[in-house]
Structure 1
Amino acid sequence: MEEMEEVWRRPKLNDEEDCPIEIQKKWTGVMRGKGDRSLIGKIVLERRIGKDTARIMMERVWKVVKPLEFQEIDRNCYVITFVSRRDKLRVMNGCPWLFENHLFVLKEFDGETQPSMIDFDHAFLWIQMLNLPLSYMNKMMGEVIGRSMGEVVEVDVLEDGSGWGRCLRVKVEYDLRKPLARGRTIVVDGKTCWVPFQYEKLPRMCFKCGRIVHEKEGCKESAESSSQYSVWLRAITQLRKTTVQKGEQKEKEKREEREDQGSQNLNIVKEDGVFQKDEIREEMEEIGSKARKEEIKLTETQVGEPQSPDLLQDVNKGRPSGTEKQKEFQVSISGNEQLIEHLCVGEGDNSKRVSR
């Protein structure tokens, strides 16, 4: 892709090629709903990996129940679609991930950016800060030191902000083109301290320059500098300290699962797009209106002009009322699939309900 970008920059465009075509967002259609359940990922590896090989491996690593959908958009770069948004969020929150000890960089789905412009040179890394003075093992200290390496995403501390333990864990969005930080020098009450770093799920890296991703020119360091980086940078993954927030996290996951359930029930794929909530309500009102009209017409035909109340009662006996007919079609938007299947009837082979 990068080579083609260079070629495309060279030629002069003629009038037809240089004439812009206006694109409207509404043309994205069903892709918006699918994008909410998707991620974009790239394996940092020179050797090409087929999408089926990557899919089978990551299904085991991510422990998903239903198969994933992998679509290759560039060398070792894929759009990954999950069955539910909950699985997607769980995987994204579990970064970083490895494929055969190579970093698998994941990004939120971006449907507005060209694939060649997506930034895969930054990734989330869990950094363990060792040998910090206990009074400074807190959230604020983690943010201050973490910002010297990149954007701080999370500091793993208890609800009161303390992070006592073997290390202080900080999640940072790191520039993979920079050498991995081996530590930081801090000054506490006039005393200089060295705080070494270790990295959880550290992928394969260059021990000469300390980088995970090289520039186009490759590694520029000599073999003599190889002793500066080694396997001692790898850390054993620690359990989260945020046990207090587990209940809140479970509630959040249940809420997201219910939202997924409702959105999947509403995503009825047609040839030209997706039914939205308002369209389903219109269908329900139209069906109910037809049921009432049929009841009135049937009453006028069978009863005639005029009839006594007793006769009307006898005629209507055994025949479903308009209210009962409406009940066949009235169902809550959030749950019942029978209405959705009913709306799909008559649409032909072009319509289908999105599977969970």
Structure 2
Amino acid sequence: MASSSTLPEKIFEISLFEEDEGGLAIQEGDVAAVDDSDFNWRLCLVGRFIAPGSLDFPSMQQTLAALWKPGKGVYMKELDTNKFLFQFFHEIDIKRVIDGSPWFFNQRVLVISRMESNCNPRLISLNTLDLWVQVHDLPIGFMTSRILEAVGGFIGKFKESCPKNFMGVWRDYMRIRITIDLNLPLKRRMRIRKGDNEWIWVTFKYENGPTFCFICGRIGHLEKFCPKKFELPEEEIVQPYGEWMRAPFRRQTNPMAP
């Protein structure tokens, strides 16, 4: 009679052998055609909120639907803890949401990514965020599309330049839309010069930006939760980032309103 210590090992070996040797070979004719009349991955976004823990899903649905106001509606599904699928039914609606990012719920910023193929949405990485960035202190001669694109590449991944950048006689700053890597600190400023002239600094302000740490510069937590506070002595902790990196909210006013 086998001892209780050896029997489980033999069973485990058999099950592994069967897994390695078995399998299901599927023929081309056995695969069902994908009917995307109800589910069109081209009109889907996957998102998560930059904050730990769960949230009130029904309340989040109502809030985002009220903010987005999709003309053809939107279906929201909770895929996992803090991971969601947003299915739209018209290109205009999904583009409006993408262009209007970032969106917030209960002061938590929503990170979204458009599905690029008919894949498992749970496996999509959500580590980037699109933001409008103001480029300040740029000399007049440097206010060109080519230089703005290069500056955008330094901040993150350049997406577009504001159409109003080159309208009018004088502008205090240029606006560019950038894809930010959430694993990296925000950029504060950049050195720039022409030829052998002296270096000058251009500074960056982030519009409608989410919470970020003044110690490490990363989006998603405040200083009291920064990992560096647990790695360095208190006297060595510095805050090279600050509130000055936030651009004032851009408000549109109607002088004819009562």
Q: TM-score range by the shorter chain?
A: 0.7 to 0.9
Letter of the 1:135 counterpart: G
Contact 1:207 1:230 in 2 (8 A): yes
Equivalent residue number for residue 200 of structure 2: 193
Q: Does 1:206 align with 2:213?
A: yes
User: Cα distance, 1:66 vs. partner?
Assistant: 6.2
Trace 1:300-319 onto structure 2 (pairs within 5 A): none
Contact 1:177 1:213 in 2 (8 A): no
Q: Does 1:15 align with 2:20?
A: yes
Equivalent residue number for residue 124 of structure 2: 118
137-146 or 225-234: which moved more? 225-234
Instruction: Identify the match of residue 146 of structure 1 among 152, 160, 163.
Output: 152
Instruction: Give the whole-Å Cα distance in 1 for the aligned partners of 2:32 and 2:50.
Output: 34
Equivalent residue number for residue 230 of structure 1: 242
User: Per the alignment, in what secondary structure is the counterpart of residue 51 of structure 2?
Assistant: coil
Instruction: Identify the match of residue 184 of structure 2 among 163, 178, 182.
Output: 178
Q: Does 1:42 align with 2:48?
A: yes
Trace 1:247-286 onto structure 2 (pairs within 5 A): none
Contact 2:50 2:110 in 1 (8 A): yes
Instruction: Give the whole-Å Cα distance in 2 for the aligned partners of 1:229 and 1:20.
Output: 57
Q: Does 1:96 align with 2:108?
A: no
Q: Does 1:108 align with 2:120?
A: no
Summarize the Cα distance change of 1:175–1:131 in structure 2 as closer, same or farther, 3 Å threshold: same
Q: Residue deviations 1:103-122, cap 9 Å, x none?
A: 21111124433334312111
Summarize the Cα distance change of 1:15–1:147 in structure 2 as closer, same or farther, 3 Å threshold: same
Instruction: Give the whole-Å Cα distance in 2 for the aligned partners of 1:110 and 1:19.
Output: 28
Structure 2 unmatched runs, 5+: 1-14, 253-258
Report the identity percentage: 26
Q: Does 1:30 align with 2:42?
A: no
User: Cα distance, 1:177 vs. partner?
Assistant: 0.7
User: Per the alignment, in what secondary structure is the counterpart of residue 228 of structure 1?
Assistant: coil
Equivalent residue number for residue 59 of structure 1: 65
Structure 1 unmatched runs, 5+: 1-10, 241-356
Number of residue pairs the alignment of both structures matches:
227
Trace 1:157-176 onto structure 2 (pairs within 5 A): 157-158=163-164, 164-176=170-182
Contact 1:121 1:213 in 2 (8 A): no
Summarize the Cα distance change of 1:37–1:135 in structure 2 as closer, same or farther, 3 Å threshold: same
Instruction: Give the whole-Å Cα distance in 1 for the aligned partners of 2:56 and 2:187.
Output: 33
Summarize the Cα distance change of 1:221–1:204 in structure 2 as closer, same or farther, 3 Å threshold: same
Equivalent residue number for residue 127 of structure 1: 133
TM-score for both structures, normalised by structure 1: 0.55
Contact 2:210 2:220 in 1 (8 A): no
Contact 1:42 1:77 in 2 (8 A): yes
User: Per the alignment, in what secondary structure is the counterpart of residue 151 of structure 2?
Assistant: helix
Summarize the Cα distance change of 1:161–1:52 in structure 2 as closer, same or farther, 3 Å threshold: same
Equivalent residue number for residue 246 of structure 1: none
Instruction: Give the whole-Å Cα distance in 2 for the aligned partners of 1:183 and 1:159.
Output: 19
User: Cα distance, 1:238 vs. partner?
Assistant: 4.7
Instruction: Give the whole-Å Cα distance in 1 for the aligned partners of 2:25 and 2:220.
Output: 36
Instruction: Give the whole-Å Cα distance in 1 for the aligned partners of 2:219 and 2:245.
Output: 13
Which structure's CA Rg is the greater one?
1
Contact 1:128 1:169 in 2 (8 A): yes
Contact 1:97 1:201 in 2 (8 A): no
Instruction: Give the whole-Å Cα distance in 1 for the aligned partners of 2:244 and 2:25.
Output: 54
Contact 2:51 2:220 in 1 (8 A): no
Instruction: Give the whole-Å Cα distance in 1 for the aligned partners of 2:153 and 2:219.
Output: 20
Summarize the Cα distance change of 1:160–1:219 in structure 2 as closer, same or farther, 3 Å threshold: closer
Contact 2:48 2:83 in 1 (8 A): yes
Q: Residue deviations 1:35-72, cap 9 Å, x none?
A: 33322221111021233222111122223356531101
